Amino acid sequence: MAENGDALDADLRVPSCERCPALVESRSQIVDGVGPTDADLLFVGEGPGANEDEQGEPFVGRSGDVLDEALRDAGLARADVRITNCVRCRPPDNRDPTAEELANCRGHLESEVARLDPELIVTLGKVPSEHLLDRSVAITSESGDVADARIADASRRVLLSVHPAATLYDRSQRDGFFETIARAGELSGVGGAAGGSGQSRLGEY
Ligand code: URA
């Protein structure tokens, strides 16, 4: 069972779900979001991979190592942010979640966003970016951009990012990814020396 660091998120955990037959088949457990329920920064990935499925926590494999490193570099602690996924069950063979699976899981993500009311949502990769912005996204060129998204009848600020795994396949994406995570800290006002000031700068964008 994942350490959420916040017992207050019991209502955000999904105890059981059988909506997506292929995912019920491929998962070993449901992987809920982790982190404080009053976090100003919410990171949204695509869906659990093998490590996350095994450990029951988002971003704990190699992608998670890169994300943790970028957070540290930005003066942010993993414990200060919330991390979740568009779908909570591991898709078979690490394929992208289907439109139907994304729709089936949307309510859980919307509840999480509504409960946190974060200053900023950071979408990690093309799938969460397109899912939340509801348009096609050229993630490599749009990474670092801030956009508005309508989520559960509220307007939310979204910072688009490449997926941390992209930096493993293509080293040239690493600096840009680290800069985007630093920007997340700066914009949201979360983080230490290299990160935020405690004061959100989103009004400027
Ligand atoms: N990739 C994701 O999109 N989410 C995870 O939790 C892990 C890897």
Backbone angles phi, psi at 130, to 5 degrees: -70, -35
Task: List Cα–Cα distances, 60 to 53, 196, 202, in angstroms.
Answer: 10, 24, 29
Residue 197 lies in a domain: no
Query: Does any domain span residue 200?
Result: no
In this structure, is residue 204 part of a structural domain?
A: no
Write out the two tokens for 3. 């350490």
174 CA distance to ligand 1 middle (Å): 17
- Residue 135 in any domain: the answer is yes
Answer whether residue 203 is part of any domain.
no
195 in any annotated domain = no
Tell whether pTM > 0.85: yes
- Which residues touch 124 (CB under 8 Å, ≥6 apart)? 43, 44, 45, 46, 67, 161, 162, 163, 164
Query: Does the pLDDT at position 197 exceed 70?
Result: no
Task: Report the CATH number at residue 51.
Answer: 3.40.470.10
Residues 6+ apart with CB under 8 A from 39: 80, 81, 82, 116, 118, 190
**Full domain range(s) for residue 144:** 2-13+32-189
Pocket test for ligand 1, best of 44, 105, 163 (most atoms within 8 A of CB): 163
- List pLDDT tens digits, range 161-174: 999 999 999 999 99
Show the ligand 1 pocket: residues with CB < 6 angstroms: 45-49, 52, 58-59, 63, 85
Q: How many folded domains does the chain comprise?
A: 1
pLDDT in tens, 93-109: 999 999 999 999 999 99
Percent of the chain with pLDDT over 70: 93
Predicted local confidence at residue 1, as pLDDT: 41
Q: Give the nearest ligand 1 atom to 58 CA.
A: 6
